[in-house]
Structure formats: C-alpha cells, structure tokens
Amino acid sequence: MRPNLVRKATHRMTTATLPRAVRSIRSPGLRRALIAGALRVIAGRDVLNRINVFPVADGDTGNNLAFTMGSVLSGALSRRTAGVGELLRRVGEEAVDGGRGNSGAILAQFLTGVAGDLGDHIAVAPARLAQAVRAGARAAREAVAEPREGTMLSVIAAFAESLEAREDVLDLRAWFGAALERTRRALAHTPEQLPVLQKAGVVDAGAQGFVHLLEGIGAVLGGESVSVAAAAAMPELDPLLAHGDDELADADPTHRWCSECLISGHDLHPVAVREAVQALGASCVVVAGSATRMRLHAHVVAPQALFEVAARFGQVESTKADDMHAQARSAAAAGGVAIVTDSSADLPDGLAETLHLHVVPLRLNFGDQDYLDKVGMTPAQFYARLRGSAVLPRTSQPAPGDFRRQFDFLLAHHPAVVYIGVARAVSGTIQSAETASQRGDAARTFIVDSANAAGGQALLAIAAAEAARAGADVPTILARLEALRPRTLTWAMTRDLTMPVRGGRLPAWSKTVVDLLGLVPIARVKPSGRLGVVGGLFGRARLVGRFAGYVARRLPRGARWRVIVGHCDAAEEGRQLLGALRERVPCAEAWLVETGPAIGAHAGPGTLVVSTQPVED
C-alpha cells in the first residue's frame, strides 16, 4: 500500500474512535427539557412559598412561579413547533401573558430575552445557546428598576456566566451540569448578599425556583427522565421561620399592593414605561415582554394609579392587585381553614384584617376603563364618578384566574378554603369560583352560595371567619353557614328610580307611577337570592325612622342582632338609620358601611340597605 493511502486509512480509523462534538439542540428535545423544568418548579412550589421573605414575606413566590410555568405548560409546551427559535418565542410570550409576581415577571423577561437573541433558528448549537442565555440574563436585569444582588437576578447571571460558549461540547449533560453546579453555589451564596435571607436562614425563593427549572432541564438534556414525585420530595421547612412577626413588621406599610397588568400595543418602550411607573414612587418595578406585549409588575400605594399610567402606553388588560399584608398575615397564621368572599360583601372597616378574611374584587368599568372594585376604585370614588358620568357603569364577576390565584395561595398555607359568594341568582361570580376550584384543588375548596349580597353576604362571611379563627373545621363552618343563611336578611330602600330605569332593570313607566303616588319602594333579598319589591312607604316625611320601624317589625322577637347599615353616598341618612335601628332592635353589634357598586350601580345614590343576622348563644 502506498504511503499516502496508509495515512488516509489511519486517519479514518483514528477519527472514528474520537467522540464527536454535539452539533445542535433541536426543538423536540428542548421542549421535553422545558416541560421537565416547569414540572419541577410546580412540584416545589410549597417549599418556595415557605422560604419567601424578600422583597415581602407574603409567601407566594412558589405560587407565582408555578402559575407562570403552568401557563407555559398549557400553552407553548403543549404543542410541537418547527424549530428552537419558534418554541422559545412562544414560551416567552406565554410566560409574559401568564407571569405572576416579581419572580414570574423576571423569569418571563429572561425567557423573552433568550428567544429574542436566537431569532428563528430551527436548531441551535450549544455555543449559540450560551450566547442567547447571556442575552436573556441581561434582559432580565434591565427589566428590574432597582436590581438587588442575592436575588433571582444574581443566580440567573451566574448561570449565564457559567454556561460556556464552546464549539467542542462532547457531552451535553456534562456541559450543562457544570453550569448548573456553579449556579447552585451562587444560590447558596444568596444569604450572604441579602441580610433578610441570612436572618431567616433561607436562600432566595425566586432564585431557588430558577434552580429547580434548570435541574429539570439538565436531567432531560442528559437523556434522563424526571420524576415529579421526586422533585416534590424536598426537606420541609418551618413556615414560622420564614414568616415571623419581624418580617411582617419590616414590610413596607405604604406599598402594600402587589399589582400587575398586561400592556399591548405597537412600538412599546420598556424604559419609558419603567420610568413612568417609578415616578409614582413604586417599588419592585419589573417590565417584561416585547415591543407589542408587556407585563408590568410593581408594588404600589394605589393600584389604579399604576393602571392609569400603563394605559398611556397601550391597551391595559388582566389587571390584578394582591394585598401583600393580607398574604403575609395568612402565611404567618397558617393552619386553620381560610375564608374568602368577594367585594359584593360590604364588610365593616378593619374586620377583614382582624379576621384574616380574604376578598376577591369584582370588575367595574365606565366605558372602556376598567377598575378593581374597592381596590382600584373606592365606593366614594365610584359615586363621585357616577354622578358626573353620562356612561352607565357595569359590574362583572372576577375571572376564574382571579379566584384561582387566591385559592392556590391560600391552599399553600391552609388545609382548606371556604368561599362565600354573592347570590348565584344575580351574578356569575359563584360559577367563576367553581371553575377556578375545578382547575385547582377541588377536594379542598368549598363554594357556598350566600343567597345574599351587600351586608347580608358580609355577615355570613364574618360568621365563617370567626368560626375558622376559633379552630372550626370545614363541616362545622359549612353547617353554621347553612343554619344562618335563611336567617340573614337584607332590605333596601330607594327613593329615586332613575338608575334602575336608566340601566333597564325597570320600565320607564314605573318611575312615573312611583313619583305620582309619592311611594318609596322597599325591596328585600328573597330566599332565591334575588332582590324583589316587598312593600313601600308613602310620603317623604320621617322616611328613615319609618324604614327602621318597617325592618324592626319583621324581625323575630327574643333575639339579639348583628346589623349592618349600608348607604349609597348618603352617609348622614345612614347614620340616622343606624341610630333608629339601635333604638328599636336589640343590637349586639352594629356597623355603618358604604355600599359598593354591586348594589349602587343598579340602585343608585341615596339607597339605604339594612342587613340583619341573629346572634347565636
């Protein structure tokens, strides 16, 4: 054999025995890896909730990351894509749309940044993926108005720096595993960077969630399968360690509302949005997304002010505002049954905080502008707007996602949730809550139709919350509600039918007849939950006292009563009515509240509402 032929044959034999470099990562494998990572984040959410102490110890980081990755799982990862670029673009978009909380928004921006750098690649080499991960880390840091070391941002940066942009990757598992190990060391370092973590003896919850994501990805990239059960089997932490009184006391008393919304439009500028939000004095500002769709997250004093700023840049949707103080209290008092109602209930000031009673706000709009009832717009602001607006307001039930977010958070800290909703006969709110329950943990979520509204619904929610605070279990609470529901009564009196006629609830001739007769109608919430006219008072003289007498005559004798008097922008008459009832009815407790849009949008200003409930011995 000639020498040159020997050299060629020897070369072929030598190269055949050398391992070949990994040429590309393709969409099917990456999709499987991301599914495994998402499942690991979801499986670990309870532990993440327990170690959540920064920026506020509100115990919801695990839920926020699980909700974010759940949106990605049910969306982008539920179907095949042609290439890696398209897959990551969809993942980023779903994460922006479904992102929750500070950690969810940061993760969404990281994923969006990776996708933006990759473009439309069908397959991607490890070195190119490493480059895109660095771009994602930069995008995540730029999305945060005031980046802090020792958080998720630090761990994302450590991963990006550790993932080597090598052209000769021979073992994908080892390549990714080396970066993952350095990322774990960065996670362990977070308590040294943030004193609040060191004090609580925990790592940053968002950073731990990101490591969970990488662990799932790394296992599948190396050819392994991932056991969700194994991912969930993590050491239990004492919840009081992460949610003690000190952390709650350290929470910012002004920026209590963790608020978010989606902004859609054309040529959106994240920097401009972030600067406008910071001008409000907001904290924990994160702006994630693309030039056409963004998720805005911030901790603010007034959620509606944030949403109004967002509306200057594009169409605002999916607004939400969570009371972090209520969440922190719930996490600190974990153990008993959690009680939830909706904002149709007119709760006396301070009772929700005292009784750890959670409220899901209804949606309210004037024309194209949406508000969160009693959060984005107070009753007083509602009536001021109502008096001067040519556009009739509309109320609508919370979306199932609003209930799902609340239920998931509470079930992470409590054995069960009981929700007491506005009457099914007049609203779809109960159905929305049932949908949320079916999509979540239906076995631990109990939906109760109050067959009432306003003060009546509030009295039932208060009774349930008192029972839960006393340690009652779910059957005991449900039995108490069942016994009190038919005995909890609500009446309403309105002397002006303008709003019911404008809203189409009454024909125009009814107002004419009532005005001619000098009749003031009285309605009552019937056992079905519907409000129906049951009587009336002729003439306007001593009207408030006569209404009090009407109610008192219809209450059974020999009982003591809890009474809630609600007024629709008629505070002085409300005080008079409360005083008149105290003179005529043996009141154990009595409160004056401002009735919200659930009644006011239909009955109009000047309406007075009385709700009563017997006091049990």
Over residues 546-556, mean pLDDT: 95
The number of C-alpha atoms within 13 Å of 466 and in the hemisphere containing its C-beta is: 11
Over residues 32-54, mean pLDDT: 89
DSSP state of 21: P
Torsion angles phi and psi, residue 328, rounded to 5: -65, -40
- The answer to the question of residue 576 being in a domain is yes
Q: Assign 503 a pLDDT band (cuts: 50, 70, 90).
A: low
Pairing of strands 257-264, 315-323: antiparallel
- The answer to the question of residue 601 being in a domain is yes
Q: What is the pLDDT of residues 565-594, one digit of tens each?
A: 999 999 999 999 999 999 999 999 999 999
CATH no. for residue 86?
Answer: 1.25.40.340
And the tokens for 125? 């080499």
Is residue 80 scored above 80 in pLDDT?
Answer: yes
Q: What is the pLDDT of residues 120-145, one digit of tens each?
A: 889 999 999 999 999 999 999 998 98
Is residue 228 scored above 50 in pLDDT?
Answer: no
User: According to the model, what pLDDT value does residue 420 have?
Assistant: 98
From 216, 234, 252, the end of a domain falls on 234
The number of C-alpha atoms within 13 Å of 391 and in the hemisphere containing its C-beta is: 12
- The answer to the question of residue 97 being in a domain is yes
Q: How far apart are CA 352 and CA 341, in angstroms?
A: 10
- The answer to the question of residue 445 being in a domain is no
Over residues 247-269, mean pLDDT: 73
Over residues 98-121, mean pLDDT: 89
From 171, 203, 234, the end of a domain falls on 234
Is residue 482 scored above 80 in pLDDT?
Answer: yes
Which strand (E) or helix (H) includes residue 364? strand 363-366
The number of C-alpha atoms within 13 Å of 66 and in the hemisphere containing its C-beta is: 21
Greater model confidence, 134 or 494: 134
- The answer to the question of residue 523 being in a domain is yes
Q: Name the pTM for this structure.
A: 0.69
Over residues 404-413, mean pLDDT: 86
Q: How far is CA 458 from CA 103, 413, 560, in A?
A: 34, 24, 18
- The answer to the question of residue 267 being in a domain is no
Contacts of 308 (CB under 8 A, 6+ apart): none
CATH no. for residue 599?
Answer: 3.30.1180.10
Residue 199 exposed, middle or buried by CB count within 10 Å (0-12, 13-18, 19+): middle
Per the structure, the complete domain to which residue 576 belongs is given by: 489-614
- Lowest-pLDDT range, 358-362, 369-373, 513-517? 513-517
| Domains in the chain, number | 2
Q: What is the pLDDT of residues 462-472, one digit of tens each?
A: 999 999 999 99
From 234, 268, 301, the end of a domain falls on 234
Q: What is the pLDDT of residues 440-458, one digit of tens each?
A: 889 999 999 999 999 999 9
- The answer to the question of residue 336 being in a domain is no
Which DSSP string corresponds to 107-129? HHHHHHHHHHHHTT-SEE-HHHH
- The answer to the question of residue 92 being in a domain is yes
How high is the mean pLDDT of the chain? 84
